[in-house]
């Protein structure tokens, strides 16, 4: 058997947001590799081997997956959302780059998934209709001053900003610091959306102004969207307002 490694994303949660290609790759795999919480979302068959690991061991997990592929297994490496967005695909390539030359000959495929930013934006309306960027607020893999510098640059440049890893138990205070920094740059009325556990039974959407945005509305399953000066709300009677960014700005 010739080995194969597929890095795929499960989407934000619901089965309908898993692509048919990713579902087919899961069905064809002999071995499923991933963070426990993501593998728990996959119906693993009796003839498939599950290799669940803890969070934060991405590189070890990637190397283990590459070794399995080299042994001839059909390996699916599973991420939430899209595997290329703050997830396993880069860890696999970091491992290949630093690993034995033979790993470069392996059959490696990356299959896209619906990332949290897109799922959250669709629920809210169309906040990404003009220029936007995505950032991880975590300082696990970059220094905190770099996070603040990029955030300020993106806000000053007029981008809508999608913040991944906005808050965790280990980093309870950084989102508050980030919001304070943004208040020096953006109008107080700038909309801020907290999209939590999108696609799950406990999904929650909160919309606030930048002036009133409460970091306690975020946890480790929250995508925070910071509007641009053009981002606005369309109020609706008895329903959550739509959040959108017009397609263009005046010259």
The reply to whether 58 sits near ligand SAH by the rule CB under 6 A is no
Choose the binding region for ligand SAH from 101-109, 149-157, 161-169, 178-186 (rule: CB under 6 A).
161-169
Distance between CA atoms of residues 112 and 42, nearest Å = 17
Nearer to ligand SAH, 73 or 79 (CB): 79
Strands 204-209 and 191-196: antiparallel
Strand 132-136 to 160-164 pairing: parallel
d(CA 190, CA 156): 13
Q: Is 209 exposed, middle or buried (0-12, 13-18, 19+ CB in 10 A)?
A: middle
In this complex, which beta carbon is closest to ligand SAH, that of residue 165 or of residue 190? 165
The CB-of-95 to ligand SAH minimum distance in angstroms stands at: 17
Question: With contact defined as beta carbons under 8 Å apart, do 137 and 170 qualify?
Answer: no
Does 85 help bind ligand SAH (rule: CB under 6 A)? yes
Reduced DSSP (H G I as helix, E B as strand, rest coil) percent helix, strand, coil of the chain, to 5: 30, 25, 40
Q: Is residue 123 a contact partner of residue 198, using CB atoms and an 8 Å limit?
A: yes
CB of 125 to ligand SAH, least distance (A): 16
What is the DSSP-derived secondary structure letter of residue 222? E
Which of 210, 205, 197 lies closest to 239, judged by CA?
Answer: 205
- Residue 242: φ, ψ to 5°: -80, 140
Total residues at interface with ligand SAH (CB under 6 A): 24
Element (H, E) at 39: helix 36-39
Contacting residue, 86, 103, 132, 244, with ligand SAH by CB under 6 A:
86
Q: Does the protein bind ligand SAH through residue 82 (CB under 6 A)?
A: yes
Q: In this chain, which of 22, 32, 77, 116 binds ligand SAH, going by CB under 6 A?
A: 116
79, 190, 231, 245: which one contacts ligand SAH (CB under 6 A)?
Answer: 79
| Minimal distance, residue 14 CB to ligand SAH, in Å | 9
Least separation in angstroms between residue 37's CB and ligand SAH is: 10
Q: Would you say 3 or 124 has its CB closer to ligand SAH?
A: 124
Tell whether residue 120 is a contact of ligand SAH (CB under 6 A).
yes
Binding mask 162-201 for ligand SAH (x = CB under 6 A): --xxx----------------------------xxxxx--
Two tokens, residue 97: 């780059």
122 Cβ contact partners less than 8 Å away, ≥ 6 residues apart: none
Task: In angstroms, give the least distance from the CB of 52 to ligand SAH.
Answer: 17
What residues make contact with ligand SAH under the rule CB under 6 A? Answer: 12-13, 79-82, 85-87, 115-116, 120, 164-166, 195-199, 220-223
């Amino acid at each position: 058997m010739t080995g194969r490694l597929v890095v795929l994303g499960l989407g934000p949660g619901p089965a309908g947001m898993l692509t048919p290609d990713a579902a087919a790759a899961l069905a064809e795999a002999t071995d499923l590799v991933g963070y426990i919480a993501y593998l728990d979302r996959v119906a693993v068959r009796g003839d498939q081997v599950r290799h669940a690991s803890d969070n934060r061991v991405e590189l070890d997990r990637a190397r283990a997956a590459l070794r399995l592929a080299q042994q001839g297994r059909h390996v699916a490496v599973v991420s939430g959302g899209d595997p290329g967005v703050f997830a396993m695909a880069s860890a696999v390539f970091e491992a290949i780059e630093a690993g034995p030359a033979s790993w470069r000959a392996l059959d490696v495929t990356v299959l896209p998934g619906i990332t949290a930013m897109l799922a959250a934006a669709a629920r809210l309306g169309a906040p990404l209709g003009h220029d936007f960027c995505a950032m991880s607020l975590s300082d696990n893999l970059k220094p905190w001053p770099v996070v603040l510098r990029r955030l300020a640059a993106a806000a000053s440049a007029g981008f809508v900003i999608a913040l991944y890893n906005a808050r965790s138990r280990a980093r309870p205070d950084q989102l508050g610091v980030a919001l304070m920094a943004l208040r020096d740059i953006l109008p107080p009325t700038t909309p801020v959306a907290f999209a939590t556990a999108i696609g799950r039974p406990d999904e929650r959407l909160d919309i606030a102004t930048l002036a009133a945005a409460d970091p306690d509305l975020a946890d480790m399953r929250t995508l925070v969207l910071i509007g641009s000066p053009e981002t606005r709300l369309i109020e609706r009677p008895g329903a959550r307002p739509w959040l959108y960014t017009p397609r263009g700005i005046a010259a």
